[in-house]
Every structure is written in C-alpha cells, then in structure tokens.
Amino acid sequence: MKLKTLALVGLASLILTACGGVDPNSPLGKRQALFKQMLKTSEDLGGMLRGRIAFDAPRFVTGAAELDQLSRQPWQHFPQVKEDGGSRAKDEVWQRQARFQELARALESSTAALVAVTSVAPLNSADLAPAVQRVEDSCKACHEAFRAF
Ligand code: HEC
C-alpha cells in the first residue's frame, strides 16, 4: 500500500515536471505567481491610461497600492543558490546580486512614487502617465539584464 502511494506520488511529480508545471509552494512558484500578479495589475493601470479599459479612479488608486505591495515581495523568493530547471532568471541574478537588488529597490521606489501621485485628488492623468511609465521602465530594465526571455 505504502509502496503504491509512493509510486503514485512519484508519477504525479513526473507528470508535473513533464508538463513544465511548477510547484506553487516552491520559491520559484511563489515568485512567478507574484510576477504574474504584478503584470496583471500594472497592465490594468496602463490600460486605464491608454483607453484600453475604462478609467475608474477608485480602481486606479487600489491598483497602485496593490502594485506597491506586490513590488516588495518577489525578491525574498529568490533562493541563495539558483534551483535547477524551470526558472527564467539568468545566472547573473546570483552573480550580480548588488545590481539585481538595486533594480528591485528602483522598482519599489517607482511604485511608491505612483502611490504618492494617486493620493492627490482629483487624479490627473498628466501626473499618472509618467509615474506608470517609470514603473514599466523599472520592470523592463531588470528583465533586460536578468531575465532570460
Ligand atoms: C529586479 C528585477 C526585476 C524587476 C524590477 C521586475 N522583474 Fe519581472 N522577473 C524578473 C526575473 C529574474 C524573472 C524570472 C523569474 C524566474 O523565472 O525565476 C521575472 C519574471 C517575470 C514574469 C514571468 C513570470 C512567470 O510566470 O514565469 C513576469 C510576468 C514579470 N516578471 C513581470 C514583471 C513586472 C510587471 C514588473 C514590474 C512591475 C517586473 N516583472 C519587475 C526580474 C524582475
């Protein structure tokens, strides 16, 4: 019985690996989920400014606060040593930690600045647009240096 269970567990993890599935409780699974949520939140903010979705001031304010919270979280889920397989992070993340952390702080200060702009009512798209642009530029700067594709 025990053996059979073990075999099943083994099989399940084989299937998971074969399908490229990532354990959602692993550090990799956790940081990828956070990054996906960051993308969704920032796309909504950009979409509201660019007219892709209707502008909704309360939703914008909430989204900015959420993005600011999210932007502080992925970094703790990068382990001391890179795990095998599944990650799109370049080896440079571990080789150039100081620069990586610097770009993480740059993102955090850009989301904090965005929150500051949303604390002034009424919201003014002339202020919001450059703040969102700065956040998007922060994502891009790090991906260019540290994400494989
Ligand atoms: C300091 C560096 C850094 C910053 C800043 C950064 N990212 Fe990333 N991002 C990464 C790395 C590294 C990966 C690859 C993670 C992995 O697979 O191990 C990644 C992966 C992702 C992924 C893919 C997740 C998956 O499912 O594989 C998305 C989406 C993403 N980032 C969105 C964003 C967005 C949106 C922002 C800005 C709001 C952002 N990132 C800011 C470094 C960064």
Atom of ligand 1 nearest to the CA of 86: 17
- Would you say the C-alpha torsion 33, 37, 40, 46 has a positive or negative sign? negative
pLDDT tens for residues 17-62? 545 689 999 999 999 999 999 999 999 999 999 999 999 999 999 9
pLDDT tens for residues 83-139? 998 999 999 999 999 999 999 999 999 999 999 999 999 998 889 999 999 999 999
**Separation CA 14–CA 19 (nearest Å):** 9
Query: 122: CA distance to ligand 1 center in Å?
Result: 32
Query: 2: CA distance to ligand 1 center in Å?
Result: 40
